[in-house]
C-alpha cells in the first residue's frame, strides 16, 4: 500500500481517489464557474401561475427516502375510491421549471447525466442549492411538481391514468428503515409520522396499493432479485464497517409506485404521438447461459426466454438457499445484461424491460439526480401544452447513447471507490481468516464473498477445485487501496 494513504484520514483519501476516478472516466467532478454563478443568482424556487396547474397542497403528501437523503425527488399519496379501487398520486420535482435547457447548470447536468455516490464524497448532478433546496420536495414548503395519477384495482390493474402539473406540500419526511420496521410490526411509529394526524392511516393505504401492484407485476413475470447493497460506515474519518443495507417493505412501496408511474408517463407520451426516452433491458441474448445456470441447480427453464419461468426458478432458489441467493441474483443480472436508454420516435413500438416484465418504461421520477428523467419531463410538458417535441429524433438518440455511456462510467467510479473502502477496512487485518462463499470461478480468477464483513476479493492461492457456491475458509494476504484489490489464500 503506497505511503500516500498512510498519513491521511480514510475519508480524505477516498474523496481524492473518487475525484480522480471521475476525471479518469470522463466525468466532471466540479461545477464550472458559470453554473456556480447561476446557482448563486437563483434565490427562490420556481413560480408559475398558469391556470392548468392544479392546487393539491391539501392532500396528505409525504416522502419516504434514505435516512440521509436531501435531494427529495418524489412524494406520494393514496385515496380510497367507492369501487374499492385505490387512487395513487405520485408527485415528482419539477426541476425543469428552474433548470432550463442550455443554461450553465443544465450544460453540466447533461455532461455527467447522473449524480455519483461514493462513500466519502457525493458528486451531485445539480448544484446542492437546487437539488437539496430549490428543486427538492422538502418538508413544510410548497413546490411545483409533475404529478402522475392512476387507479389500482383489487388485482393490481391500472386505469384512469393521468399526467398533469400541480402545486404540492410535503407534510412529513420519512425514512425507509423506520417506516419498513413499523409496517411489519417490528418498530414504533416514526416521530415524523406521529406528528401528522392521519398519516399512519395514509401509509397503511399506500402499503396496500403497493402490494396490489407488486403482486400483479410478479404474476406477469417481474423478477424477484436480491443483491447485497453495501453501505460504508465512516467514523471520525476512518472506515469502520461495511454494512448490508437490505431493501425492506418501505423500499418496495416506493419502488412499486415509481415503476407504475414510469409506465404511465411513457403511455401518455405514446398517446400524444410523442417520442419516448425509454429505459430498456432487452430480452437476454445469453438465455442459453441462464438455462445452463438453472440446470446446474437441478432445475429447468424453457428454451425460449420466459421471465415468468425465470422468476419461478428464482423463488425456488430463494427458499432453498437464502444465504447464496444474492450471489445467484448477481449472476442472473450479469447474464441478462445491463440496462440502456433508448429513444423511440413517435409511432414506433418501443422495447420493454425484461426484468420488470413491462413494455412501457421510462425513467421519470428522479430528475434531481438523473438527466433522462429531466428529458422525459420536458417531453411531458410539451405534450401537455399541445406543443411539438422539444427534441429532434436524432438529438434524442444521441442523448440516449450518451446517458447510457455516462451512467456506465458513474457505476464504475462508484464500484472502484467501494472496493477501495473495503480495502481500507481490511488493511489492518492481514493474516486474519474469514468464512466465505465462492461467487466466481473461471480462467479469469476465483472470487469469494466473505460473510462478515460482506466483501468480495480474489483467491490467489489454493483456489483449485473451488466452484461457484462452495463455502470455504480464506486468509487475507494482501490489499491495495488505490486499486481496490483484496487478495486471499485458501486457509
Q: Are 367 and 129 in contact (CB under 8 A)?
A: no
Low-confidence ranges of the chain (pLDDT < 70): 1-8, 357
Q: Are 270 and 276 in contact (CB under 8 A)?
A: yes
Give start and end residues of each alpha helix (H) in 272-385.
Answer: 287-296, 307-320, 325-336, 371-384
Structure confidence at residue 329 (pLDDT): 86
Structure confidence at residue 2 (pLDDT): 41
Spatial CB neighbours of 439, under 8 Å, sequence gap ≥ 6: 327, 330, 447, 448, 449, 456, 468
Task: Report the DSSP beta bridge partners of residue 147.
Answer: 91, 164
- The predicted-structure confidence for 62-102, as pLDDT tens digits, reads as follows 999 998 889 999 999 999 999 999 999 999 999 999 999 99
Structure confidence at residue 8 (pLDDT): 61
Report DSSP letters for 242-298, one per residue: EEE----HHHHHHHHHHHHHHHHHHHHHHHTT--EEEEEBPPPTTHHHHHHHHHHTT
Q: What is the DSSP letter of 28?
A: -
Q: How far apart are CA 334 and CA 340, in angstroms?
A: 14
Total Cβ atoms within 10 A of residue 54: 13
Q: Are 367 and 143 in contact (CB under 8 A)?
A: no
Structure confidence at residue 331 (pLDDT): 82
Q: How far apart are CA 310 and CA 302, in angstroms?
A: 9
Task: Report the DSSP beta bridge partners of residue 233.
Answer: 241
Spatial CB neighbours of 364, under 8 Å, sequence gap ≥ 6: 92, 146, 148, 261, 262, 265, 373, 376, 377, 380
Using only C-alpha atoms, what is the Rg of the chain?
Answer: 23
Spatial CB neighbours of 115, under 8 Å, sequence gap ≥ 6: 71, 122, 123, 124, 125, 131, 368, 369, 370
User: What are all long-range contacts of 29-36, with beta carbons under 8 Å and residues at least 24 apart?
Assistant: 29/123, 31/105, 31/108, 31/127, 32/104, 32/107, 32/108, 34/104, 34/107, 35/104, 35/105, 35/107, 35/108, 35/127, 36/127
Pairing of strands 276-280, 340-344: antiparallel
Q: Are 226 and 167 in contact (CB under 8 A)?
A: no
Q: Are 391 and 379 in contact (CB under 8 A)?
A: yes
Spatial CB neighbours of 405, under 8 Å, sequence gap ≥ 6: none
Instruction: Estimate the share of the chain in helix, then strand, then coil, as percent rounded to the nearest 5.
Output: 40, 25, 35
Domains of the chain: 3-282+341-423 (no CATH), 287-336 (no CATH), 428-490 (2.40.50.140)
**With 0-12 CB in 10 A as exposed, 13-18 as middle and 19+ as buried, what is 385?**
exposed
> Cell 429447468 belongs to which residue?
300
Pairing of strands 142-152, 54-55: unpaired
Structure confidence at residue 357 (pLDDT): 67
Structure confidence at residue 285 (pLDDT): 77
- The predicted-structure confidence for 131-152, as pLDDT tens digits, reads as follows 999 999 999 999 999 999 999 9
Total Cβ atoms within 10 A of residue 43: 8
Amino acid at each position: 500500500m503506497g505511503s500516500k494513504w498512510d498519513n491521511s484520514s480514510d475519508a480524505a483519501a477516498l474523496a481524492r481517489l473518487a475525484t480522480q476516478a471521475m476525471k479518469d472516466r470522463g466525468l466532471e467532478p466540479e461545477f464550472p464557474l458559470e453554473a456556480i454563478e447561476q446557482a448563486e443568482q437563483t434565490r427562490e424556487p420556481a413560480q408559475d401561475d398558469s391556470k392548468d396547474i392544479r392546487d393539491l397542497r391539501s392532500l396528505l403528501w409525504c416522502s419516504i427516502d434514505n435516512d440521509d437523503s436531501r435531494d427529495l425527488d418524489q412524494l406520494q399519496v393514496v385515496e380510497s375510491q367507492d369501487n374499492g379501487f385505490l387512487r395513487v398520486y405520485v408527485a415528482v420535482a419539477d426541476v425543469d421549471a428552474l433548470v432550463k435547457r442550455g443554461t450553465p447548470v443544465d450544460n453540466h447536468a447533461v455532461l455527467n447525466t447522473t449524480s455519483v455516490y461514493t462513500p466519502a464524497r457525493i458528486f451531485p448532478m445539480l448544484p446542492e442549492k437546487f437539488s437539496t433546496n430549490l428543486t427538492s420536495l422538502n418538508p413544510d414548503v410548497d413546490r411545483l411538481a409533475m404529478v402522475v395519477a392512476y387507479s389500482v384495482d383489487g388485482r393490481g390493474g391500472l386505469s384512469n391514468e393521468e399526467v398533469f402539473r400541480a402545486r404540492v406540500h410535503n407534510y412529513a419526511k420519512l425514512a425507509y428503515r423506520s417506516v419498513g420496521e413499523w409496517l411489519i410490526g417490528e418498530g414504533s411509529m416514526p416521530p415524523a409520522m406521529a406528528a401528522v394526524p392521519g398519516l399512519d392511516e395514509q401509509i397503511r393505504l399506500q402499503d396496500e396499493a403497493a402490494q396490489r401492484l407488486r403482486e400483479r407485476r410478479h404474476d406477469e413475470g417481474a423478477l424477484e432479485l436480491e443483491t447485497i447493497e453495501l453501505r460504508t460506515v465512516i467514523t471520525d474519518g476512518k472506515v469502520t464497517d461495511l454494512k448490508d443495507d437490505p431493501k425492506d417493505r418501505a423500499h418496495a412501496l416506493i419502488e412499486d409506485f415509481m415503476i407504475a408511474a414510469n409506465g404511465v408517463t411513457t403511455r401518455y407520451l405514446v398517446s400524444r404521438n410523442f417520442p419516448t426516452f425509454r429505459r430498456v433491458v432487452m430480452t437476454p441474448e445469453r438465455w442459453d447461459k441462464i438455462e445452463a445456470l438453472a440446470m446446474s441447480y437441478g432445475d429447468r427453464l424453457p428454451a425460449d426466454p420466459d421471465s415468468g419461468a425465470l422468476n419461478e426458478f428464482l423463488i425456488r432458489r430463494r427458499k432453498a438457499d437464502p444465504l447464496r441467493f444474492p450471489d445467484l441474483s448477481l449472476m442472473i443480472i450479469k447474464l441478462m445484461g445491463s440496462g440502456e436508454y433508448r429513444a423511440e420516435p413517435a409511432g414506433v413500438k418501443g422495447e420493454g424491460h425484461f426484468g420488470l416484465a413491462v413494455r412501457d418504461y421510462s425513467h421519470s421520477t428522479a430528475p434531481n439526480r438523473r438527466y433522462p428523467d429531466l428529458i422525459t419531463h420536458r417531453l411531458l410538458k410539451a405534450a401537455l401544452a399541445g406543443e411539438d417535441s422539444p427534441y429532434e429524433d436524432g438529438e434524442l438518440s444521441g442523448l440516449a447513447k450518451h446517458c447510457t455511456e455516462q451512467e456506465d462510467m458513474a457505476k464504475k467510479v462508484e464500484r472502484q471507490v467501494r472496493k477501495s473502502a473495503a480495502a481500507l477496512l481490511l488493511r489492518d487485518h492481514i493474516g486474519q481468516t474469514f468464512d466465505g462463499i465462492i461467487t466466481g470461478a473461471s480462467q479469469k480468477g476465483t472470487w469469494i464473498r466473505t460473510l462478515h464483513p460482506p466483501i468480495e476479493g480474489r483467491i490467489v492461492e489454493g483456489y483449485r477445485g473451488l466452484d461457484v457456491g462452495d463455502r470455504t475458509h480464506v486468509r487475507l494476504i494482501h490489499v491495495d487501496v488505490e486499486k481496490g484489490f483484496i487478495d486471499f489464500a485458501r486457509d
